[in-house]
Amino acid sequence: MTLKYTWYGHGTFGLDLDGTKIVIDPFFEGNPAASTTLDKLEADFIWVSHGHGDHIADAGPLHKQTGAQVITNAEIAGWLGKQGVETHAQHIGGGFQHPFGHLKFTYAQHGSGLPDGSDGGNPVGFLLTTADNKKVYFACDTGLFGDMALIGESSLDLAVLPIGDNFTMGPDDAVRAAQLLKPKHVIPAHYNTWGLIEQDAMAWAQRIEAETDAKAHVLQPGDTFDI
Ligand code: NI
Ligand code: MN
């Protein structure tokens, strides 16, 4: 089976599994790093990791445009449900066999307040296991936490990690994260969207190559990576 990752800029990602399209944390309108616009996107499923505007902003509009089901935590699912969005609620530690594969919600150390001040529950990361046993981990917005070592026990093919600092892990902690997660490949995210989270991703990638067993891939918004 084919599995293609796309970085749409900031913390917004795409996965294409044999033609099934997943959009993760859709943030296009108002995203200075966005590589495309909402109207050009197709989606069969949408995943939302937490309630912050730079992750949920276009979840409702993308659902309206595509009919894609939104998979998110129970609190955000309730909030979106009241707006007429079709959702599937999960929570941390819980996995479910979806048509595209097995998706487990993981711990994330962050906040999750919704744009209108509603409680967005706890933020999550995502661990995808495909039918042919490829494993992809999206840390989403988080600081470094020691239990990444537990997630690392699952032989990850790819880990997508924030490196922007200020709101999430910065480059130093993201190197430490890669040491705990032990992925085959690692891709940085959540940086260079605004000056506040500007980072030298190539310098970080060199550290990954020197200090971990992972291979680092620095993408530009719009770039894809075949997993
Ligand atoms: Ni956030
Ligand atoms: Mn964010």
Domain limits for position 190: 3-220
Is residue 30 in some structural domain? yes
Amino acid at 169: M
Give the Å distance between the CA of 27 and the centre of ligand 2.
Answer: 10
Give the Å distance between the CA of 111 and the centre of ligand 1.
Answer: 6
Burial of 83 (0-12, 13-18, 19+ CB in 10 A): exposed
Is residue 91 in some structural domain? yes
Give the Å distance between the CA of 140 and the centre of ligand 1.
Answer: 8
pTM across the whole model: 0.97
Give the Å distance between the CA of 68 and the centre of ligand 1.
Answer: 22
Give the Å distance between the CA of 41 and the centre of ligand 1.
Answer: 22
Q: Name beta bridge partners: 22.
A: 15, 45
Q: Please give the backbone phi and psi of residue 165, each rounded to the nearest 5 degrees, phi first.
A: 70, 180
Is residue 161 in some structural domain? yes
Is residue 227 in some structural domain? no
Give the Å distance between the CA of 145 and the centre of ligand 1.
Answer: 16
- Residue holding tokens 């690392």? 152
Q: What domain count does the chain have?
A: 1
Q: Which ligand is nearest to the CA of 111?
A: 1
Short-list 112, 109, 91, 111, CA closest to 177: 109
Question: What is d(CA 88, CA 74) in angstroms, rounded to the nearest whole number?
Answer: 8
The whole-number pLDDT of residue 1 equals 86
Q: Tell me the CATH number at 66.
A: 3.60.15.10
State pLDDT tens for residues 85-140: 999 999 999 999 999 999 999 999 999 999 999 999 999 999 999 999 999 999 99
Q: Which ligand is nearest to the CA of 25?
A: 2
Whole-number percent of the chain with pLDDT over 70: 100
Collapsing DSSP states into helix, strand and coil, what is residue 73? strand
Is residue 226 in some structural domain? no
Q: Residue 174 corresponds to which tokens in the numbers above?
A: 């993201």
Residue 2 has pLDDT above 90, yes or no: yes
State pLDDT tens for residues 23-60: 999 999 999 999 999 999 999 999 999 999 999 999 99
Give the Å distance between the CA of 195 and the centre of ligand 2.
Answer: 14
- Residue holding tokens 């730079």? 54
Give the Å distance between the CA of 203 and the centre of ligand 1.
Answer: 24
Is residue 108 in some structural domain? yes
Q: Please give the backbone phi and psi of residue 184, each rounded to the nearest 5 degrees, phi first.
A: -70, -40
Q: Which ligand is nearest to the CA of 52?
A: 1
Give the Å distance between the CA of 141 and the centre of ligand 1.
Answer: 5
Short-list 217, 221, 137, CA closest to 177: 137
Question: What is d(CA 40, CA 54) in angstroms, rounded to the nearest whole number?
Answer: 19
Which alpha helices (DSSP H) does the chain contain, by range?
53-56, 59-66, 74-81, 148-151, 171-181, 201-211
Short-list 33, 15, 31, 220, CA closest to 137: 15
Is residue 28 in some structural domain? yes
Q: Which ligand is nearest to the CA of 197?
A: 2
Q: Residue 82 corresponds to which tokens in the numbers above?
A: 């009241």
Give the Å distance between the CA of 51 and the centre of ligand 2.
Answer: 9
Give the Å distance between the CA of 132 and the centre of ligand 1.
Answer: 31
Is residue 225 in some structural domain? no
Cβ atoms of 7 and 201 closer than 8 Å: no
